[in-house]
Structure 1
């Protein structure tokens, strides 16, 4: 084991520019705020730590180049990343090819595995992820529907890309869990993003008597669908939407008509982190409420759910470097990640008991966007899977 002080490098691939940039801001903030606590790890003789951030530009090819630069030029001992159903797998694949430990988060583990050309059960050597599953989303959304009674005829507004195909998957997807709870799922038909005409989907909604809609659409597409359904005289009692609608639509799209349409729709979504979550940072004991408050104070912006995951990324990287047999050896850092069990500000993470190798799970609650004086407010409306998380609002049907 190396016992002499050396320089360790944490590499970060973040969307500083491009369409994913709103999701990169929480990560950039956490890196700045946690810098003093990341500056050194006590392992062997103790090591100084530098953090090098490279822009993915919200583009898979640019993300791969960023990994190559971090590996070859910056000599990163671990790479962190989050955001982007195409960008994140590109980072993970590049790290796997180059033999650099990688830790990522922010989208369902089935998407993470399948986007990389593998099936559940495949074991990657260098790359690790923490999030939730499509099945976990289905369980939370079904509970939201059941708050309105039920069972329901649920219209599935899913795209024609990887996300949509996995949601439809008969074994690994969303549909099996929701159907097993007695709900009748109707596929409204795939569409290409961005979409401009949802008349076919609205027609199927009418044909099948759909009263609840579930989706993973962008804010713009969901607003367009809702407007066209409303103009056709149809109004679902509830819309549940994951992916982009886990963030305030005012942060991810600038169009006022989209904001008005989605505010009217009262979209329900999943909650994976909030100021009310009962967790603390493993670095310094910071609570979720304190982190959210500090973010608002320092940036002037409302907290976003990725804030907690970004902090957990940093915590886990620090833990891996602190516990690796030799933190200067990338293989040792990867082994440390593989065996990590850690209580973080995003909840307990355990790579020893995940649903498939290389994955640690985060528990989900159900939320709904309620109008507030400062824009959309995410209220926690169901907490069956996190009973210690306070409910902060009632589910409202339209």
Structure 2
């Protein structure tokens, strides 16, 4: 029997449509099947950590049988098909080619993905129509709970418990009641892991909406996977330029399914220059910068550097350094030679700890040090000991913010107090941005007639306009499509006083254009 005749006979067999189609693709003309595995490469290869592509000669494409509306539908597009499609059951040679025996073993393994009710697939694209599935909204949540950026994940356990309690009675949308399931994952502060957990949430957990937070290393791969798979995604805690331009978007070609809110270069420029010129500490306006060779560093160098120069500051830039550098002697020497009395950096927390200790040992002591990406959380400052006192940082949330959560009806102060009482830990600003992430998500879900319609939900994210516990957000008037900015003020870390149970405390020392956020003191020079 020739292969085309076998295709016709198999496709006529009265099996589940998804079963018939996938079995035909896998077993017919094995020698002509090619499989290429490629690693995740950022915005240009956005699907998952690995993307499997199954190729079948055009003449062997089987006829498509009629599928009743009640049946599952299958789409295994190359851009959304993870390595799990086949590789779990195959031994793939290093050159990427596959033997007939390997493919047949993969076919046997794939059989475990089938059930009588349809196809449970790692290839994605199935939309089941059972009442049980339709009545549940599955929200994926990804953040770095371990690894170099683990500090950003500190509030996760508290927030997950509070939010699950908030959603215990479900959500009523368009006259229908939906239960809400939050499925949280740890990116381990690693881009490849972030891509892998995104693929799992999309393809295995069948999420309806993705939420992701904290650093480009976590956020960008997850957002890329969602854009490729057409899954609505909302993110925060990454300067928006690093999220937007870093993923390859332009104002002419924005994203369709991924949205983001956070500060950007304009907010940083306004906050820094206000603090450095009006804070009461005189300097020579020379700024030593350490901007790394990563998405944050590139966005800041291209955007913030020129703006600071236009504002009359002299930039002392020894050049981009690699994350994980252990010796900063060259940078320190350059700052000392230029007498840079202001210092600014966007490093990973361990890198800054290494640099700051070396700077003190080698005699570099700027009058002002404004840092970002680290120095944002109490645990990061405590790890520095007395060397952390006097560091300044941008605050996109604090208990002093005069806003209330749309989900819990708690003010910023009440939310911070609740966290400290529940965990015994000091509040940090990620609590506010991550709570706001869910506030915007629920606002968008409720704005749809069908929250499971991906296109409608993505459009609702793009129209969101509300005031969250982190402040007002407006996606209709952002700097670019897909983006809303938020308030930013400057705080300074000091040794805790007044019988505090914590080692350090932040004081808002400059509120810039946000006069409704109260100041708690004046900027003090580094000692």
Same fold by TM-score greater than 0.5: yes
The answer (yes or no) to whether the contact 2:246–2:299 under 8 Å persists in 1 is no
CA distance in 1, matches of 2:388, 2:489: 21
Comparing 43-52 with 278-287, greater Cα deviation is found at 43-52
Greater length-normalized contact order (CA 8 Å, ≥ 6 residues apart): 1
Report what 2:360 is aligned to: 230
Report what 2:149 is aligned to: 20
Q: Secondary structure at the match of 2:456?
A: helix
| 1:221 positional shift | 3.1
Report what 2:300 is aligned to: 167
CA distance in 1, matches of 2:297, 2:241: 12
Is 1:351 aligned to 2:482, yes or no? no
Q: Secondary structure at the match of 2:216?
A: coil
Structure 1 stretches of 4+ moved >6 Å? none
| 1:197 positional shift | 1.9
Change (3 A) 1:341 1:184: same
Structure 2: stretches of 5+ with no match in the other structure: 1-128
| 1:246 positional shift | 1.3
CA distance in 2, matches of 1:157, 1:20: 18
Change (3 A) 1:121 1:290: farther
Report what 1:77 is aligned to: 208
The answer (yes or no) to whether the contact 2:448–2:456 under 8 Å persists in 1 is yes
Report what 2:458 is aligned to: 334
The answer (yes or no) to whether the contact 2:494–2:504 under 8 Å persists in 1 is yes
C-alpha deviations, 1:124-151, integer Å up to 9, x for none?
0100100010231122111111122456
Is 1:393 aligned to 2:514, yes or no? no
| 1:72 positional shift | 2.4
Which one of the candidate residues 257, 261, 265 is aligned to 1:134?
A: 265
Is 1:324 aligned to 2:448, yes or no? yes
5 Å-filtered alignment, 1:206-285, equals 206-248=336-378, 251-252=379-380, 258-263=384-389, 266-285=390-409
Report what 1:68 is aligned to: 199
The answer (yes or no) to whether the contact 2:239–2:296 under 8 Å persists in 1 is no
C-alpha deviations, 1:16-35, integer Å up to 9, x for none?
33333331232332221122
CA distance in 1, matches of 2:196, 2:328: 37
Report what 1:117 is aligned to: 248
C-alpha deviations, 1:325-354, integer Å up to 9, x for none?
211211111111011101110111111000
Report what 2:321 is aligned to: 191
Report what 2:28 is aligned to: none
Aligned residues: 387
The answer (yes or no) to whether the contact 2:151–2:377 under 8 Å persists in 1 is no
TM-score scaled by length of structure 1: 0.91
Change (3 A) 1:24 1:144: same
Comparing 118-127 with 225-234, greater Cα deviation is found at 225-234
The answer (yes or no) to whether the contact 1:31–1:314 under 8 Å persists in 2 is no
Q: Secondary structure at the match of 1:42?
A: strand
C-alpha deviations, 1:155-190, integer Å up to 9, x for none?
112222232222221xxx111222222111111333
| 1:252 positional shift | 4.0
Report what 1:155 is aligned to: 288
The answer (yes or no) to whether the contact 2:381–2:388 under 8 Å persists in 1 is no
Is 1:309 aligned to 2:437, yes or no? no
The answer (yes or no) to whether the contact 2:381–2:504 under 8 Å persists in 1 is no
CA distance in 1, matches of 2:165, 2:256: 30
CA distance in 1, matches of 2:137, 2:226: 17
| 1:271 positional shift | 0.8
Kindly report the root-mean-square deviation, in angstroms, between the aligned alpha carbons of the 2 structures: 2.1
TM-score scaled by length of structure 2: 0.70
| 1:310 positional shift | 0.8
Change (3 A) 1:244 1:122: farther
| 1:225 positional shift | 3.1
Larger Rg: 2
Q: Secondary structure at the match of 1:168?
A: helix
The answer (yes or no) to whether the contact 1:138–1:175 under 8 Å persists in 2 is no
Report what 2:237 is aligned to: 106
Is 1:362 aligned to 2:486, yes or no? yes
Structure 1: stretches of 5+ with no match in the other structure: none
CA distance in 2, matches of 1:226, 1:97: 40
CA distance in 1, matches of 2:151, 2:332: 31
CA distance in 2, matches of 1:364, 1:269: 10
